[in-house]
Amino acid sequence: MSLHFGLFATESGCVSGLLVDLGSRRPMHADFAPALTRKSEHVLPGATGPSPRRRGPRGPYRQTVIMRIELASEPAAPPAPNEDYAAVALPASGTGGAVVVLDGVTPPRDGDTGCVHGVPWFTARLGGAFLELAGAREAPLADCLAEAIRRTGAAHGPACDLTHRRTPQATVAAARWDGETVEHLVLCDAALLLERPDGAVRPVLDLRLSRLPRDRPAEEMRNREGGFFTAAADPEVAARAVVGGVPRTEVAALAALTDGMTRWTEVLGFGDWAALMQRVRKAGPRGVVAEVRAAEAADADRSRYRRGKVHDDASAVLVEL
């Protein structure tokens, strides 16, 4: 399989990417034309070059779509840093792949996190370690997350108080697949959508945050028994993640989303999870980010859509298997 990956940035700071199997001959984003045309046998439909019907050395080119992956991550308010993390590993130890999406929890207003590191440092460390471990396929996803939390904790310095309730932390959505199974893991309010071949969509959600009693500040329930949990400094939290696995034949596509993207459903009410998945597949992660941003901008005083922040960092990875 010949895979190419490209990244590009928009004026708003959105970073997007698309990864394709060049053998699939699938229409691709025009921004990738320069990369693709470097290989004359792989060209965009309509571009000059060999006909798709041309025979290769060993017969007709493969026509089936093997895989399409797109990702986008846009900061809430540039030039403020993006506290999300989104990455994909292909293959993951020779087969399938792995996706990790994190949403770094915004520090309190007073900035007191007990740590000399910023949230973007934390999500880069945690996400990178988690992706590496998930890709190695030596342990279940929850164990990989626990080890990634452990490693990240060790990377803090002596001035960092890892017992601080607001120590840098993140919500998590991850998936790993091979020829047999699609494994998934969700912690806190990131989301993973699994689309079946018949189009039905199953959301994998950790509902603890949304089910907190309303008569107590959510902050009191952070990483506390009976409350909700984030990936912070305690590796044991990984065991509390929502995990599972489904046969790969039952998954046509998946999407990992931070809550800046799930706003499309949960805050803006544009449609249910199945509708969101359809939009992500049709418009791509960039297109859905644009829809969310447009709605937010039209409601800058937050009078129509209830939300804590006008904009939020928004990230999504779409995988069509």
**Interaction of residue 156 with Zn ion, rule CB under 5 A:** yes
* Binding range to Zn ion, per CB under 5 A, among 4-12, 113-121, 142-150, 198-206: 113-121
* Binding range to Zn ion, per CB under 5 A, among 154-162, 177-185, 211-219, 262-270: 154-162
Q: State which residue, 32 or 122, has the beta carbon closest to Zn ion.
A: 122
Beta carbons of 300 and 86 less than 8 angstroms apart: no
Site track 40-79 with Zn ion (rule: CB under 5 A), x = hit = ----------------------------------------
Distance separating the N- and C-terminal Cα atoms of the chain: 14
Q: State which residue, 158 or 217, has the beta carbon closest to Zn ion.
A: 158
Long-range contacts of 116-122 (CB under 8 A, 24+ apart): 116/157, 116/159, 116/160, 117/156, 117/157, 117/160, 117/168, 118/81, 118/168, 119/81, 119/83, 119/168, 119/170, 120/81, 120/82, 120/83, 121/168, 122/152, 122/168, 122/169, 122/170
Q: How far apart are the C-alpha atoms of 59 and 110, rounded to whole Å?
A: 65
* Binding range to Zn ion, per CB under 5 A, among 150-158, 237-245, 267-275, 296-304: 150-158
In three-state secondary structure terms, 248 is helix
| Nearest distance in Å: CB 102, Zn ion | 16
* Binding range to Zn ion, per CB under 5 A, among 28-36, 93-101, 111-119, 239-247: 111-119
115, 119, 129, 194: which one binds Zn ion (CB under 5 A): 115
Q: How far apart are the C-alpha atoms of 65 and 20, rounded to whole Å?
A: 9
DSSP E strands in 90-149: the ranges are: 97-104
- Residue 56 identity (one-letter amino acid): G
117, 166, 202, 311: which one binds Zn ion (CB under 5 A): 117
43, 72, 87, 160: which one binds Zn ion (CB under 5 A): 160
| Nearest distance in Å: CB 109, Zn ion | 19
Q: How many CB atoms lie within 10 A of CB 199?
A: 11
| Nearest distance in Å: CB 259, Zn ion | 24
At residue 156's C-alpha, the angle toward residues 14 and 127, to 5°, is 35
In three-state secondary structure terms, 279 is helix
Q: State which residue, 28 or 160, has the beta carbon closest to Zn ion.
A: 160
**Interaction of residue 22 with Zn ion, rule CB under 5 A:** no
Report CA 18 to chain centroid distance, whole Å: 13
| Nearest distance in Å: CB 76, Zn ion | 23
Q: State which residue, 117 or 222, has the beta carbon closest to Zn ion.
A: 117
| Nearest distance in Å: CB 232, Zn ion | 11
* Binding range to Zn ion, per CB under 5 A, among 5-13, 51-59, 115-123, 304-312: 115-123
What residues form DSSP beta bridges with 302?
none
Number of residues that bind Zn ion (CB under 5 A): 4
**CB-closest chain residue to Zn ion:** 160
Where do contacts with Zn ion occur on this chain (CB under 5 A)?
115, 117, 156, 160
